[in-house]
Amino acid sequence: MIRTCTIDTPLGPMTAAALDGKLIGLWFVGQKHYPAAAQSWEPQPEYPVLADLRAWIEGYFAGKGGRPELPLEPQGTPFQKAVWKILLQVPPGETITYGEIAEQLAAQRRVLSMSAQAVGGAVGRNPISILIPCHRVIGADGALTGYAGGIEKKRALLQLEGAAEVES
């Protein structure tokens, strides 16, 4: 059974989902790729991983940062999971480009190149916003592009983390 709760944040409400004690999703309500099945999930805001997530999100938006110690189990293809694994290595306040992710994947797979566009598709399908930090991915020219929750939310998250790209 998928358990869920709504978390109020300064950027709007988010829906969290957990299965078997692991976080499987965190989306801004109404964002692109918001799960249609969310209406049928079981509301259980006190479910341990969801309660821990709410506490972490509160600290995150209070500027406490830090990496969450929550069990994550994002659902996706092997390629998507490889991209999301790279995202987990990007520290708060830093950014990475789609091309840099593609280069890392190519090196891991021992191939000459990978498509930055394919990486962009995987980044956009990230089901665990903020914790798997897809908001830290920028275009090759430094532009803030492609965030399922909206560019203004991406900008706000990067500013909260102190990323130099949005300080100006």
Report, as residue numbers or ranges, the catalytic residues: 134
CB atoms within 10 A of CB 146: 17
Query: Counting beta carbons within 10 angstroms of the beta carbon of residue 127, is it exposed (0 to 12), middle (13 to 18) or buried (19 or more)?
Result: buried
Residues pairing with 138 in the sheet: 97
Strand 42-43 and strand 22-28: pairing?
A: unpaired
Euclidean distance between the first and final Cα of the chain, in Å? 45
Decide if 3 contacts 47 (C-beta within 8 A): yes
SS3 content of the chain, % helix, strand, coil (to 5): 40, 15, 45
122: how many CB neighbours lie within 10 A of its CB? 22
